[in-house]
Structures are given as C-alpha cells and as structure tokens.
Copies of this chain bind each other. A is one copy, B any other.
Amino acid sequence: MDRRHEILLGATKSFTLFGYKATTIEQVAKIANVGKGTIYTFFKNKEELFQEVVFHLINEMKHETDRLIDTNASFMQNAHTALMKMLQFRERHLLFAKLIEEETALGTPEVQQMLLKIESEIISYVSMRIRNGIAKDEIIECNPEHVAFLLFKSYLAFIVDWQLTHNEPLNEQEILTLFSETLFRGLAKKK
C-alpha cells in the first residue's frame, strides 16, 4: 500500500470536494488513512501537496491529448478531436471547476496563483500546437499566443460562464459545432 499515492488520492478528492482553503491536512490524513505527520514526510507543506495534485491532473490531460493527435490528420480534425476529448472529460476538470469557484467566491491567493499557473501551462501547450500548424502550413499566419489565449478563454466562457446566465449548460455537440464553424474555420488556411 503506497502511502504517498494514497495521500495524493485523498488530497485530490478533498480539494475537488471542498476546495483549497476548506481542505484541512487532518481531513486529507483521515481520507488517506494515515497520520497527519506522515503527510509531511512526503510533502513539504500544504501548498506543495496542492501543486502535486494539480500538476498530476494537467499532465494526465496533456498526455491524453498527445495520444490522440494524429500527425497525418488535418489541423481542423485534430483540434476537433482534442476539443471533444476535453469536453468529454469535464468531470475530471471538477477540480478546476471547484478552484475557479473558490477563486471568484473567496479569492484565496494560493488558488489564484495556481489558476494562473494552470492557464499558462495550457496556453503554452496550445501555442505549441498552433505553431506546429503554422509550420505545416495548415493554419494561417497568426500570433500563436494571442490565438491560444483566445481559444482558452472561449473554452472557459462556455464551460464556466454560460451556466451563470443560462440555466441549461450547452451540450458538447453545440460547443464543438460552434468552435469548428467559427474559430477553427477562421484559422484554417484556405487552399
């Protein structure tokens, strides 16, 4: 029974359920079935534990996406597939959703910082993909960082903000169609 792993699992569960601030180390210890002190033999402090949890999730997402990208397929197809994957894994983003909620509701500084870090991770990943697309002459010349920022914020707008003003969340197909028909379509190089 890997104690370190148990702790990570428990921490993920607790952060997802209660957010950063409301998660106590004692809580995590209880979920992971270890003593409080044990946590500190594997992680320097609460913040480091938090970082490990988040980066684990981000890496999972990146690898998942990498696995799906088909170098032979067109940029539009790949973008479509990747976006679909992200949408299907909304559940797994529950942690991120909780963090965004905590950020807007309480403004916890550690969470704020972490969200910026997550944003920058994702944007630089997407930028890289866009730069690839440009190099392969599949998408128009553009500023990759700007476009990545636009894509990221648009995605968030539909996943997070939409619910705030509309009672029904947009379903995956609608979001996918919208992105494909406007953003991806605008980016694709006309041949």
Q: List the interface of chain A (C-beta within 8 A of B).
A: 104-105, 107, 116, 119-120, 140, 142-143, 146-147, 149-150, 153-154, 157-158, 161-162, 164-165, 170, 174, 178, 181-187, 190
Contact = CB atoms under 8 A, between A and B. Distances in A.
B150 A181 contact: no
A161 B170 CA distance: 23
B165 A161 contact: no
Chain A interface, DSSP helix/strand/loop, else mixed: helix
A104 to B, nearest CB: 7
B146 A174 contact: yes
Max chain B Cβ within 10 angstroms of own Cβ: one of A153, A158, A174, A190: A153
B119 A165 contact: yes
Contacts of A153: 153-154, 157, 161
A183 B146 CA distance: 13
A100 to B, nearest CB: 12
Nearest to A123: B165
29 contacts: A104-B104, A104-B107, A116-B164, A116-B165, A120-B165, A140-B181, A142-B178, A142-B181, A143-B174, A143-B178, A147-B182, A149-B157, A149-B162, A150-B154, A150-B157, A150-B178, A153-B153, A153-B157, A153-B161, A157-B157, A181-B186, A182-B183, A182-B186, A182-B187, A183-B183, A184-B186, A185-B186, A186-B186, A190-B190
